[in-house]
Amino acid sequence: MNEERTQTLEEIRNERIQKGETLTEAGQALYPSTTARTHELQEVREAFSTLEADKAVVTVAGRVLSVREHGGSAFIDLFDGTAQLQGFLKKDEVGDDAFNLFLNNVDRGDFVEVVGTPFTTKRGEPSLLASQWRMLAKSLLPIPTEHFGIKDEDERYRKRYLDILLNKELAERVRRRSHFWRSIRDFLIERDFIEVETPVLETTPGGAEARPFVTHHNALDMDVHLRISAGELWQKKLMVAGLPKTFEIGRIFRNEGMSAEHAQDYTQLELYEAYSDQEKGRQLVRDLYIHIAKEVFGTTSFTIREHEIDLEKEWVEYDFSKIILDTYGFDPREADEATALKALDDAHIEYNKDEPMNLERAVDTLWKKCRTSLSGPGFLVNVPVYLEPLAKRSSEDPRVVERFQIILAGSEVGKGFSELNDPIDQRKRFERQEELRAQGDDEAQFADSEFVEALEYGMPPTFGFGVSERLYAFLEGIPIREGQLFPLMRPKQ
């Protein structure tokens, strides 16, 4: 093995290309299509005692993580994504030519296939005594050492494949992310929800208050939007269609700012249940969160941004209108724009005065300031109608909607409500949103006349709920960007 620290990447690459040519001349294919592998490395480790006792011959494959020469022998560490296993090459086992070919031309990072017999070293290490080897894929660039890894955050995200390879905890995080969504899917399917897929390209983006991405559809010669919700309006049309329980786990896109909690493209769950409402839905959601925590993390207790959370404890009810009244001295259910703007100034909350700041945005900004002290878990209720265009008005207080948001660690991590199924009220709410858009609020919802038409055919009482991968990031204790496999990056200049 050549010393690589003092070489440039280009020198290393050229040297490895030359090694590849040597291997080719010796009859080795550098990138064969198939492998004769009989066992994953994890399978070998799990059945090692039996394989060793039977003197079984196995064929394994994996990436070379290290090579340590000892005279006429060499130890190699192989990794195939399931486990790591030590291989042992001896001249008198594989032959002089094969041994020297390996030692002089195989580098850390290469993929090889090894045929051998399991045995235990004097130090008690499960190993494989090699009788044959062959190249599966020659690497041209060196992978960093596990000890040093990739320290620059920008470089880590750009070369996420190396970051995952070198960081076992990150690799486990990738698996937990998969488990997170699988646990949700299993939970819902067990309760007779059916999984659906709704359009990602929409002529009218609906189901949320967010700025959409716009692209052009060449075949139809029209602009379309990437969706900003996981099929909210489409799934409610399925309630009209007579499918009583649906859900979708899918990618959504919002052309907004970035933060530890916000990404522009991310995965979201949305579910809908006919003949239910937000009161009944609370128990379903609480059970779902506890199920996720136990299945994926093995606990219901978490420390999230200095908040101590136990999902199995009784969930608190937070009254939005009362909190605003107690904190800022006005009732948001009765407030006008001037009152809300004055409260912003009195509280010394900074905002961009060059951008529209209407009643809706002002009250929402005030709320975001005071929510940070709420640990949860809890349900935020009694939100004014003007803040939620798609939720049903409360029968007890028509100034608020039948909506809850999940409060965890000072933030909202999930939202559910009794869906508005009154087409006349829905049309009026959309008209208000259009007014806000006309005033410059580009996060106000788009009016969707086809959705209103669907409601006019009749939609049963329905509970709807949505939660994004923010929940995964919170439980994992990481920024949302860190939880994504390949976060969006600016191109390198």
Q: How far apart are CA 354 and CA 228, in angstroms?
A: 25
Q: What percent of the chain has pLDDT over 90?
A: 84
Q: Identify whether 489 is part of a domain.
A: no
Query: Based on the domain organization, do 269 and 409 belong to the same domain?
Result: yes
pTM over 0.85: yes
Looking up tokens 């052309």 gives 255
Mean per-residue pLDDT over the chain, rounded = 93
pLDDT on residue 2: 46
Distance CA 134, CA 141 (A): 19
Per DSSP bridges, beta strands 58-70 and 111-120 are antiparallel
What is the per-residue pLDDT for 492?
Answer: 82
Between these two residues, 426 and 146, which has the higher pLDDT value? 426
How much of the chain, in percent, has pLDDT values that exceed 70?
98
Cβ pair 291, 190 in contact under 8 A: no
Quick one: 101 and 204 in the same domain? no
* Residue 157, in any domain of the structure: no
Range of the domain at 133: 9-143
Same domain, 169 and 124: no
352 — pLDDT class (breaks 50, 70, 90): confident
When comparing pLDDT for 437 and 414, which is higher? 414
Cα 463 to Cα 208, 415, 416, distances in angstroms: 16, 11, 7
Residues 193 and 281 in one domain: yes
Q: From start to end of 101-169, where are the E strands?
A: 111-120, 126-137
- Average pLDDT estimate for 39-53: 98
What would the two tokens of residue 287 be? 């059970």
Convert the pLDDT of each residue in 198-235 to its tens digit. 999 999 888 877 889 999 999 999 999 999 999 999 99
Same domain, 137 and 285: no
Least-confidence region, from 69-73, 287-291, 421-425, 461-465: 69-73
Q: Which 8-state DSSP code applies to residue 393?
A: B
Please write the tens of the pLDDT for every residue from 227-280.
999 999 999 999 999 999 999 999 999 998 888 888 999 999 999 999 999 999
CATH number reported for the structural domain that contains residue 127 in this entry: 2.40.50.140
Q: What share of the chain is helix, strand, coil (3-state, %, to 5)?
A: 35, 25, 40
pLDDT at position 148 is 57
Residue 72 near residue 63, CB atoms below 8 Å: no
Of 45, 88, 48, 82, nearest in space to 62 by CA? 82
CB 272 within 8 A of CB 463: yes
Q: For residue 128, what pLDDT is reported?
A: 98
- Alpha-carbon distance of 365 to 344, in angstroms, equals 8
pLDDT digits (tens, 9 = 90+) for 129-159: 999 999 999 999 999 876 556 778 888 899 9
Burial class of 434 by CB neighbour count within 10 A (0 to 12, 13 to 18, 19+): middle
Mean pLDDT computed over 328-351: 93
Q: How far is CA 472 from CA 268, 282, 416, in A?
A: 11, 19, 18
* Contact between 210 and 253 (Cβ < 8 Å): no
Residue in this structure with the two tokens 């937000």, named with its chain if needed: 278
Q: Is residue 353 part of a domain?
A: no
pLDDT at 154: 85
- Number of domains present in the structure of the chain: 2
189 and 92 in a single domain? The answer is: no
Position 149 scores a pLDDT of: 60
